[in-house]
Amino acid sequence: MTLEVGVLGYRFMGKAHANAMARLPMFFPDAPEIQRRVLVGRHEEALSDAADRLGFESIATDWANVVDEVDVFYNLGPNHVHVEPSVAALEAGTPVFCEKPLAPTLEGADVMAEAARDAGDAVPAGCAFNYRFVPAIRYAKRLLEAGELGEIHHVRARYLQDWLVDPDAPWSWRNDEEMAGSGALGDLGSHSVDLLRFLVGDVGLAGEIDRVSGHLQTFVEERPTEGSSAQNDSETRPVTVDDAYTAQLEFENGAMGTLEGSRFATGHKNDHVIEIHGSAGSLRFSLERLNELEVLRGDDRGYETILVTDEDDPYVDHWWPPGHVLGWEHTFVHENYEFLSAVESGSDFAPNFDDGLAAQQVLDAIEESDDGGEWVEVG
């Protein structure tokens, strides 16, 4: 059976997922056969160009006409269009793959998770946290699950970018609370929270994040609209989200965590680092060196760098001979493979909408803590 896929959104994420779909038949021959059936967006001309480039058969300017016509619906639009089309698709019994963060608000994420539960297990609803599909991250999870780090005491994640440090960088939907929900917190923090939940969220490890203390900061309060510049007195729009955030976490089993995310970290382009310390060892992962995992065991004096590029490492056998490293785009191929396979077999996919909701609950508690100046319980 060929799965007909409809995709809403044709910019950054549209490109990343279309590229992944195109790679599947070449590198994952057991993946379901798919047809890039229809690309959905608002501006017909740009949409047509994108459909040609990304290999879609047709275009549509109204998602409502698409969600029950296809076998799978991808929601890759800005955060404020995540809720309505995803819920409509699930109500029509169409599996949904939605970009992160699941929704701009906790209320929206709740509605989406409920729609996914109502649709039932045979209709997978995935939240596209692509970093779970980095081979080194899955390798780290295996180590943690095997108890090789022992009892977990500290977890740390920082996700640093710098694309807003220039006050003249143009305003976009990502600077607007209505459309994005939050700033660095939702965009970058959702990845950090999800990875920590994925790695140490099991009851046998640190468990879930129980309570948080958060701090949000906006460094530049307004930005020029696209095509104008703050210097020449031109039009500006207010920035209504955070540029950066920090948080302290307490996990169910007593482990301590710290999070940091910023769009103002000069010189850091896409720098996501995870560190975990347990009673039997420590590990360190950096997205800038995503083929490596650093592991320190017992009382070793330093970290050993493990190259996660062997044929028995997760997903590597599908690509090149050992040592022929993978990149950022491969994470999308891996998640598309898993998601579409789940659609074909009508089985659950993780991360699902409940995982998206769980991340949103942590983000929401961080914001509430910043507002009230106190620790906040999650959920």
Give the C-alpha separation, 139 to 134, whole Å.
9
Minimum distance from CB of 287 to ligand SOE (Å)?
9
Strands 271-278 and 209-217 turn out to be unpaired
SS3 253: coil
Minimum distance from CB of 11 to ligand SOE (Å)?
10
Q: Which is nearer to ligand SOE, 161 or 182 (CB)?
A: 161
Interface size with ligand SOE, residues (CB under 6 A): 3
Minimum distance from CB of 188 to ligand SOE (Å)?
7
Cβ atoms 17, 126 nearer than 8 A: no
Give the C-alpha separation, 367 to 219, whole Å.
17
Residue nearest to ligand SOE (CB): 187
Q: Binding ligand SOE by CB under 6 A: which of 94, 161, 246, 352?
A: 161
Which helix or strand (DSSP H or E) is residue 245 part of? Answer: strand 244-251
Minimum distance from CB of 161 to ligand SOE (Å)?
6
Which helix or strand (DSSP H or E) is residue 282 part of? Answer: strand 281-286
Q: Which is nearer to ligand SOE, 161 or 309 (CB)?
A: 161
Q: Which is nearer to ligand SOE, 23 or 174 (CB)?
A: 174
Q: Binding ligand SOE by CB under 6 A: which of 2, 61, 225, 270?
A: 270
Question: What residue type is assigned to position 270 of the chain?
Answer: N
Q: Which is nearer to ligand SOE, 94 or 161 (CB)?
A: 161
Minimum distance from CB of 126 to ligand SOE (Å)?
15
Answer whether the bond into residue 351 is a cis peptide, omega within 30°: yes
Q: Which is nearer to ligand SOE, 161 or 336 (CB)?
A: 161
DSSP for 55-97? T-SEEES-GGGTTTTSSEEEE-S-GGGSHHHHHHHHHTT--EE
Contact map string, positions 333 to 372, toward ligand SOE, x by CB under 6 A = ----------------------------------------
Q: Binding ligand SOE by CB under 6 A: which of 14, 38, 76, 187?
A: 187
Minimum distance from CB of 76 to ligand SOE (Å)?
11
Residues with Cβ within 8 Å of 301's Cβ and at least 6 positions away in sequence, in order, are: none
Minimum distance from CB of 100 to ligand SOE (Å)?
6
Q: Tally helices (H) and strands (E) across the chain.
A: 10, 17
Tokens representing residue 348 in the block:
């659950």
Task: Answer yes or no whether residue 225 interacts with ligand SOE by CB under 6 A.
Answer: no
Give CA separation, 170 vs 173, 174, 305, 331, in Å.
10, 10, 40, 29
Q: Which is nearer to ligand SOE, 205 or 357 (CB)?
A: 357
Q: Which is nearer to ligand SOE, 54 or 152 (CB)?
A: 54
User: For binding to ligand SOE (CB under 6 A), which residues are involved?
Assistant: 161, 187, 270
